[in-house]
């Protein structure tokens, strides 16, 4: 079993290593990179993010209904139990 200190470094090292790669990205500092960033993070960003994430609660509810079973109304539960 690894200690907490070792596990913490397992998470920190990729973050530090990834920062250098992100800083060295030549596309991000180009005109095309700035155009893409301004096109994504414009005034409609929250609306687009909400539309993108909207199906996930529906899928999670459907999966939970299939996994845990759909709720049975109280009247139906008493009829089947008698």
CA distance 27 to 58: 36
Q: Say what the pLDDT of residue 81 is.
A: 53
First vs last C-alpha separation in the chain:
53
State which of 8-12, 45-49, 73-77 shows the largest mean pLDDT.
45-49
State the average pLDDT over residues 27-36. Answer: 84
CA distance 15 to 37: 22
Among the residues of 1-82, which ranges form H helices?
A: 4-23, 31-40, 45-53, 55-68, 74-81
CA distance 44 to 76: 47
State the average pLDDT over residues 60-66. Answer: 92
State the pTM of this model.
0.44
């Amino acid at each position: 079993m690894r200690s907490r200190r070792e596990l913490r470094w397992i998470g920190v090292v990729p973050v530090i290593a990834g920062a250098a790669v992100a800083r060295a990205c030549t596309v991000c500092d180009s005109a095309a990179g700035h155009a893409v960033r301004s096109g994504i993070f414009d005034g409609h960003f929250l609306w687009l993010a909400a539309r993108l994430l909207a199906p996930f609660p529906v899928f999670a509810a459907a999966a939970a209904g299939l996994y845990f079973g759909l709720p049975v109304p109280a009247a139906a539960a008493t009829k089947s139990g008698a």
